[in-house]
Structures are given as C-alpha cells and as structure tokens.
Structure 1
C-alpha cells in the first residue's frame, strides 16, 4: 500500500487534541441547532395525546444526548401548546405561527451546557484511543473503532451523569444552589459518593452498544467509499453518508435497549424529583414488563421516529466534525509549508 491513508485519524494528520475539541464542539452546536426542533415537536405531540402531570418526567434529546426533564406547574415551554396538532408538519407551522420560531429551540441552552462538554470528551477520547489501539491491536486493528467508541462513551456518560442528576433535582424543585449543595451533601452522607451516579446504568445501557456499533460501521463505510472512488481523503458527502448509514444500523440494533433505557431513565428521574431513594426497576424487570404488556414488538416501539431523528443527527455531527478536522489539517500543513519556505529563503 502507498503512503496514502484511507482513513483520517486526527493523530496521523498532525491535528492537536485542542483542535479535535474545537471540531467536535462546532459539530455539537450545529447538530443541536438542526435537530432540537424535531424533538420539541415530538414532545408537543406526545403531550397532546397524554398531558404530562406535575412531577412527570420525559426524555428530551437535542440530537446528541438524552436528558430527563421534569414537568412543573407553569413550565409550559415544553409541552403546553395552544390549539390541536394534526401531525408533525402541522405542529411545526402552528408552533411558529402562534409562539414564534424561537420556541422550536425551547430548552436548548441548558442541555448544551452538558451536551457540548460531553461531546468534546467523547470525540476527543475516541480519536486518542483509536490512534493508540490501532498500533497495539496489530492484525485486529479493524476492531479498534468499536472498542474506542465504547470506552469513550463510558467516559463521557460517567462525567456527565452527576450533573444530569443535579439538573433534574434543581429543575424539579427550583432549588437555590445553596439548597442543592445541602441536598448533595445529605445524599453523599447517607449513601456515599456513588449516589451521584444513580441512573448511570440506564444511560450506559444503550449508549455503549450504540457507540461501538456506530464507530465500527462508520470507519468501515468511510474506508470502502474511499476505495470505491479511488481517493485517500473522504469528501463531505462520503462522511455524511457513512454517518447516516452507521447511525441507522446502530439505532435499529439497539432499539430494544433504547426502549428499556427510556423507561428506566424516566422512572429514576421521577424518583429523584420526589426525593425518593429506593431503587428503580431493574433492566430485566422492565423488559419483562414491556413484553407482558405489549409483546415482543413493544421492545421495538418508536422505530421510525428514532431512525428519522438519529440518522440525520449522526450524519450532521460526524460530517461537520470531519470538516473541522480537515480545516485544521490544511491549516497546520500551510503553516508548516510557510515555515519551510521561510527557512529556505534565509
């Protein structure tokens, strides 16, 4: 094989970890801006069919991460909408007409506070781990993306989990930061530091398998497209298509985990909101309950909405991330060339 590289690992192209972080941050912002309206409309449609009572939790996703939100009296930005919606398109039109276009991004700022740093940790960790594992794993290097994606996701979710718990608690009771600190101190004293990671299991239930499947297929699709078109550098269209296809496959294969994870997240969020410390149902218990109530098909509920949302989110995130890396790679190369030219003229 020639010196050209079919894939584009950041470390192999002279991109620093800081530049990787900036690239992932810009990708996170763009993805959130484009995908958040889809979830806001979805929540409005859900609330229309079954209004959320006070203290009820629901899952909100900005295209990057899932977050538990707690319904409160007067908290109408999420789910209390005038009129009746006849579908997704009708909801978009009526929300914009009656509340303004900004309402489609309800709740975006607080979720970005967690989503952006989590995405930075996730993508930068993935790049660094993959570069190391490709060397360490030798003939099994094709599995480096799978292992790197899983480990990076564990790290990102673990870092954000305590913040998610605190945000849920603050939202549910509108606590001051002083009261929130006392609440944390009481929980730690009674149950230990691990109490801050309550709910980590449900979060990892879907995210880790999804991440492993996603990165393995993404790198494989990207490499094959490069080989098919005879290029060593993937274009924007190649990364976008690879991200969409790998995201679709990962979302389909992990859908049962997503259904169980959502049920457990909501249950844990409501326990936290009511300040109850007893354990939520186990994964196996929730799965059995779903099968008993709805049959095996219940584990695949929400198939189409999940694929419709996840596929473009993955495509937008990874293609914008790769564009950022490509920009910095060219920028670094130009600086190197200029330095070489300057040195040659002396």
Structure 2
C-alpha cells in the first residue's frame, strides 16, 4: 500500500483516477487569493495613482501667459484635481509614491480599497481558477479521446491553455466588474463609502444598471490576452521542467509567466483605469453625464499627448505587483492541488485494498 501511495504522488495532476474535485479546487484557490490581495494592494494603489496622475496632467491643460515673451503650458486644477495630488505633488515613481502616500495620508491609505478587493478577489479567483481547470481538463480529455482509442498518449496542445484561460477570464471579469469599478474609484482618490455610494447612484441614474459594467470592455481587452498569455507561458514552463514540480519552482514559473503577460498588456491596463476614472469625473462634473470615451479613442489620445511612454505608465508597479501575485497564487493553488491529489490517491488505494480484502476474505460459513 505504501509503495502505491508514493507512486501516486508522482503521477500527473491530471490523472483521472486521482483528479481533484471542484470543491477541492475552490479550497485550494481561496487561501492564495487572500494572501495575494493583502500583499499586492499597496502596489495596486500606487499603480492606479500614477495612472490617475497622468490622466489629470493630460486632461486639465491650459496656457498660462507668464512673462509677456512666451506662453507656458501648465496643468490647471480648476477644482477637478484630486486632493491627494495637491497634497503630495507629482509622484516621481513607484517608491516616491509609496513614501508620499504613507507620509501625507497615513500607512493605512496604501490599503485603500482592500475591503472590496477581498470581496472581489475570493469569488473572482474561485470562478477563474475553477473555470480554467474544468475547461482545460474537458478540452484535454476531448482532444485525447480520439488518440486513446488507438493507444496513443499525446501531450496537451498549446492552444488549450490559451482558450481555457481566455474563456475563464471572461466569465470571472464579467461577474465581478461592478466590484472592480468600486475598487478602482476607491484607490484613485481617497473616498468614503458614502461618496462611493453616491457616485454609483448617479451612474445608475444616467446610464442604467449597465453603467456598473462601464469599463468592462477595456478590462476584458486587458485581462483576456493577459490570461491567455499567462497560462500559455506557465503550462509551457511546466512542460519544459516537468521534474521540478515543487513549491519554489511554481513561484518562479508563475512570476515569469505573469511578468511577460503583464508587459504586453499594460497599455490596456492604462486605458481601463482612464475609462473608469473618467466615468466618475463625467458623472460629477458634467451637467449631462455621458458614457466614457471608447478604448481606441483613449489609446490615441494618450499616445498623441504623451507618446508610447504614456501607454506604459505604471509598468514598474504593475510588474512589481503582478510577478509576486502570480507567483503566490499559482504556487498556492498547485500546492493545494498536489495535497488533494495525494489525499484522493490515498482514499482510492484504501478503497481498493478494502475491496481486495473483502473479495479474498475466507468463507467460514458451513
């Protein structure tokens, strides 16, 4: 029995005999979601503040006639600039933002939006990871079925994690989009729950319930390619180093895969933040609130006013956030999968042993 258990702990996690159940996938993903949210929220606050700062500098421009010889271009506050920008001045970078926010607003401000982040992270992570695993396994089993009949053992094709990851992200992002909007507003400027509630009421009044999903298009434009690239990179790394399936390996593989995906999708992250903040500004400062600009319009405006660099605003804090977040989340999830797989294998072997004993039990009846 011990020999069988040791062998089972080394088999593929996708082995149908010991494959973990959906409720076990839920448990495996919850812990990682909580730890990741607490760890990366300050970095998310900084990233959104930097992107908000860029938007304020671009959207509130005016000409100031200074000395009679030349015009000077400067940002106008005209009441629309967030209070934290007036107190902190311009952030020079990630670490400068961390220090200034801590000094002027208190260390707790770095965890602004943590409550909706936790409420957002747990269901979103559960939906995302369980959907990905279930869809990936379904596609893999369906694809391999034709080969199993011929006795051929094939590896998982590259397109399965791409399709499964992208589809899972669509489901998760759509369901939690209203919470994502609230979290972004709370991190872009220090707002009370009463102010957030008032803003949401105005959104619903002028845009209907669908207004709560404002920015979903740019969110999907960012998250779906990110998810597809992430899972493709991660599954590829796993396949290349299949003998190194340990917690540390999963940390490194998750960080590398997440960093690559984050780099290529950062422009869409900038657009998403601009659209959701712009929504709040239009609802508050316009007599007749209207929907935000389209994704393509925002990309053109950012590129025209600030060049290619503008589309990569917040890249450093995003990478600093995404790399450890992906590392912690995937390592915790994979560790949980291995734990439950070992548990399932042990139960299966004990069941087989009991059946074997019953079948070979001496018949003492006369």
TM-score (norm 1): 0.73
C-alpha separation in 2, matches of 1:169 and 1:334:
48
1:162 matched to 2:178: yes
Q: Which residue of 2 aligns with 1:174?
A: 194
The structure that has the greater radius of gyration is 2
Conservation of the 8 A alpha-carbon contact between 1:26 and 1:320: yes
CA RMSD between the two structures: 4.3
Contact 1:135 1:141 in 2 (8 A): no
Q: Which runs of 5+ in 1 are unaligned?
A: 53-74
What's the TM-score, normalizing by structure 2? 0.69
User: Aligned equivalents of 1:285 and 1:84: distance in 2?
Assistant: 26
Q: Name the counterpart of 1:135.
A: 141
Select the residue among 316, 327, 338 that pairs with 1:326: 338
Decide whether the 8 Å contact of 1:169 with 1:272 is kept in 2: no
Question: CA separation in 2, counterparts of 1:95 and 1:20?
Answer: 37
Write out aligned runs for 1:1-346 (5 A). 8-9=13-14, 13-40=18-45, 104-137=110-143, 141-165=157-181, 174=194, 194-226=210-242, 231=243, 234-272=245-283, 277-346=289-358
Higher relative contact order (CA 8 A, sep 6+): 2
In 1, the alpha carbon distance for the partners of 2:256 and 2:122 equals 24
Asked if structure 1 preserves the Cα contact closer than 8 Å seen for 2:204 and 2:212, the reply is no
What are the Cα deviations for residues 70-96 of structure 1, in whole angstroms up to 9, with x where unaligned? xxxxx99x9998999997668768988
Aligned residues: 315
Distance change in 2, residues 1:326/1:151 (3 Å): same
Question: In the TM superposition, what whole-angstrom CA distance separates every residue of 1:58-113 from its partner, at most 9, and x where no partner exists?
Answer: xxxxxxxxxxxxxxxxx99x999899999766876898899987665443222211
Deviation, 1:7, is 5.8
Deviation by residue 1:261-314 (Cα, 9 ceiling, x = unmatched) = 222222124345669641211111111111211122322233322222211111
Q: Distance in 2 between matches of 1:180 and 1:269?
A: 7
